[in-house]
Chain A
């Protein structure tokens, strides 16, 4: 009886799983089809496997191809991740290991700003970046990351709180300064947290569209998100196989990270439990 019930549960879970990932698998298969086949057949497998979509998309049609957009996205995303980590670790360390006046208020404001909707800051931020002449570059992303991202600051504060203070104190007796304690004693312990934070920030920055749309205007600097939109808007009859191929390439880094670092990924979501 119990076994039967479990079988039924599994049957529905599998069925539901297929419904969930079928679109993604279909997209993958479509990237190897002829354009006409993408929009006319409902078969999953391509009748003939071709790589035209990848080849022409990568080269572009007399304008920048997808290779450039991928490179741009990396150039935008990697420094953003590094700056986020450095500043958020420092700020998280400051908030969790030191007593100073107004700390409680400042910490409250920091947490409160996680809930603050971005739209209410958007226009003045744009005007600031325009005034300091950094529009159409990746500096708006890097500057915002260097200021520490409240979500990740909170994540690191949670980490530091879990490490007994006695560890710092014994090092203090040995004559280590607070910065040395952070670098030589705490940092080696935080590898998993740093890893979680990096992959989350990488994926969020990689997936971002709205900020890129506002801050970046020249095609030569387009990241993947803007490049992809360009390709579906610019052409008369869209070459669907190419669009499928490019969408799939845009999704590849998050997919690879997700499958290779799933444990850290889920842990990151759960410890702070905030985004998504």
Chain B
């Protein structure tokens, strides 16, 4: 008995690296961000308690905060649904029994492996700048392309497109999900005379909903924190039209060294994400469907 107990405590020894890391690099920073958010903290001097003033400043004095929040919400609510609809659409085509699916999958996945890398953002800049490849190609079709990066009407869309272009990883996850839907369901539906649209609405969508939900949550959390594209391609401009929240946070923390204010910004983003994800979780009760509940 004693021997078994001693053996089991060894488990703590194995997870020790994570425990130490969790306490020092996750829990402590998490609490600190919250505490710093009530202080004026400029790195050189220590933190000074200032109550709620950071939060008051955010909403009353900092125009850039509201601007950035708006830009970020537009970015997230445009790019995430576009990316997921696209990923699902392509995955459904690839899920049909066609030759060469491996090749297509590879090609469509390729842009995703570069993640938020600088190289990809540099490429985006070369493609969409005033005399970039896109406009030169449009010119050969006698179309006068817009100033993608310099016009506030197009800049945010251009940044979002980079995100949509990387739909590959969501697509691969959808493909796995689609493979798990048993064929007999479709066959039964076809015998009952259900058309394509009906089969999609009543079989594919409900059975895939846990995976859609999962992709939605992960993509939303990631998109709220997008940095590289906006920083490298447009530097947040023009006129702050691509000034995503991560840029605002970076500027305050690491350019102006307003650590207290930046902590308040970080905490606010955390609250926004908490609200958005819990709304998604709440709403999932209405549309989320698990295969097990069927039987």
Contact = CB atoms under 8 A, between A and B. Distances in A.
Contacts of A210: 116, 227-228, 246, 250
A112 B294 CA distance: 28
* Max chain A Cβ within 10 angstroms of own Cβ: one of B11, B104, B218, B269: B11
A211 to B, nearest CB: 10
Interface string A118-159: 111111111110000000000000011011101001000000
Nearest to B131: A39
Nearest to B165: A20
Contact of B11 (A10, A99, A116, A117): A99
Interface in B105-152: 105-120, 122-123, 125-127, 131-133, 136-137, 139-140
A42 interface: yes
Contact of B254 (A90, A214, A225, A248): A214
A76 B281 CA distance: 38
Interface stretch (B48-56, B167-175, B188-196): B167-175
B270 interface: yes
A209 interface: yes
A40 B131 CA distance: 7
Contacts of B285: none
B247 to A, nearest CB: 11
Given A128-B24, A147-B22, A275 B169 contact: yes
A121 B137 contact: no
Contacts of A148: 17-18, 21
Given A94-B14, A209-B228, A20 B107 contact: yes
A250 interface: yes
Nearest to B102: A262
A229 B232 contact: yes
B13 interface: yes
B65 interface: no
Interface stretch (A45-53, A54-62, A188-196, A251-259): A251-259
Interface string A70-113: 00000000000000000100110111011110010010011001
B1 interface: no
B292 interface: no
Contacts of A243: 122, 126
B30 interface: yes
Interface stretch (B73-81, B201-209, B260-268): B260-268
B197 interface: no
B25 A90 contact: no
Interface in B79-113: 90, 93-94, 96, 98-100, 104-113
Given A20-B165, A225-B117, A273-B173, A27 B123 contact: yes
A269 interface: yes
B267 A120 contact: yes
Nearest to A214: B254
A235 interface: no
B57 interface: no
Given A98-B8, A147-B18, A203-B113, A120 B266 contact: yes
A90 B122 contact: no
Contacts of B21: 144, 146-148
A100 B9 contact: yes
A276 B112 contact: yes
Contacts of A24: 110-111, 123
Interface in B7-41: 7-15, 17-22, 24-26, 28-30, 32-33, 36
Contact of A276 (B106, B169, B224): B169
Contacts of A91: 14-15, 17-18
Contacts of B211: 273
Interface of B: 7-15, 17-22, 24-26, 28-30, 32-33, 36, 43, 90, 93-94, 96, 98-100, 104-120, 122-123, 125-127, 131-133, 136-137, 139-140, 165-166, 168-170, 172-173, 176, 211, 214, 217-218, 221, 224-225, 227-228, 231-232, 246, 249-250, 253-254, 259, 262-263, 266-267, 269-270, 273, 277
Q: Which 4 A-B pairs have the closest CB atoms?
A: A147-B21, A276-B169, A94-B14, A98-B11
